[in-house]
Amino acid sequence: MKNKVCFITGATSGFGSAIARRFLQAGNHVVITGRRKERLIPFQKEFGDRVAVVHADICNQTAMQQAIDALPEPFSNIDILVNNAGLALGLETADEAFLDDWNTMIDTNIKGLVAVTRAILPGMVKRNTGHIVNLGSIAGTYPYSGGNVYGATKAFVHQFSLNLRADLFGKAIRVTCIEPGLAETEFSLIRFKGETSKAEAPYKDVTPLSAEDIADSVLYVTSLPEHVNINRLELMPVMQSFAGLKVCRTLGPDS
């Protein structure tokens, strides 16, 4: 796969940065977005005119729509959209969580994703070609304490991806949801708002997935023949598995 136009949100670090690099190394044109412009500029220095930078926050729907509408040739006809931008904030239980954190996750993981999709999808439909890759999470399938709204946003991404496929029935447009497990990026550092000790704890004594692992997965699903659609791809490190159901034995009829 080469000579495609790829649009990647949240490309300043982690999965997004690695995915952008994989697509560029494969010979494609890439539009990269993110709030931290200083992290996007090195891509232009390295890959030149095959990179277009959109310095905008996906939560600002008006600015993002304007930026997409203003993309010059050869970036205007987007073949592949990777909705990567997203975050988790906090690990408090629902009764102690911060409402601002919940709203930020909803604005980014849901509202931002659907706004970018809605801006780009009509062009794909008009040309009857394209591939949308949404970055979900196993947190959208398997609940855990403290996952509350983050897991709910990723469950939305999972279901939204399936519903897109239903809406696009009869059209040559593919939709894939990539759902990673434990992966080591800046994710935990952002979740715990810079508290390094908390951010490092989930990865202690395990070999987690890497950003490059996820980038390879995205490149794989988008490189398949155009009649093949991977609906959902779930992946975990070997050292991670499904938790058993918990039973609280201190609660009962006499407690």
pLDDT 10s digits, 192-236? 888 898 888 888 899 999 999 999 999 999 999 999 999 999 999
- Which pLDDT score is estimated for 248? 80
How confident is the model over 48-65, as a mean pLDDT? 88
How confident is the model over 48-54, as a mean pLDDT? 93
- Give Cβ neighbours of residue 81 (< 8 Å, ≥ 6 apart): 6, 7, 116, 117, 120, 121, 124, 130, 131, 132, 133
- Residues of the chain above pLDDT 70, percent: 98
Q: What are the catalytic residues?
A: 150
- Which pLDDT score is estimated for 230? 98
- Which pLDDT score is estimated for 60? 85
> Which alpha helices (H) appear in the chain, and where do they start and end?
14-25, 41-47, 61-69, 99-105, 113-127, 148-167, 187-191, 196-200, 211-223
- Which pLDDT score is estimated for 203? 87
How confident is the model over 137-152, as a mean pLDDT? 95
Mean pLDDT of the chain: 93
How confident is the model over 111-118, as a mean pLDDT? 95
Question: Contact at 8 Å (CB) between 178 and 217?
Answer: yes
How confident is the model over 56-84, as a mean pLDDT? 91
- Which pLDDT score is estimated for 110? 97
- Which pLDDT score is estimated for 250? 83
Rounded Cα distance between 28 and 20, Å, is 9
- Which pLDDT score is estimated for 92? 95
Q: Taking the domains of the chain in order of start, what are their residue ranges?
A: 5-235
How confident is the model over 179-204, as a mean pLDDT? 88
Q: Is the dihedral of CA 108, 155, 12, 102 positive or negative?
A: positive
Closest CA to 133 of 115, 153, 106, 113: 113
194 vs 171 pLDDT, higher one: 171
Residue 214 is which amino acid? I
At residue 130, does pLDDT exceed 60? yes
How confident is the model over 144-164, as a mean pLDDT? 97
Task: Give the model's confidence band at 254: pLDDT under 50 very low, under 70 low, under 90 confident, else very high.
Answer: low
How confident is the model over 118-131, as a mean pLDDT? 97
Q: What is the CATH number of domain 5-235?
A: 3.40.50.720
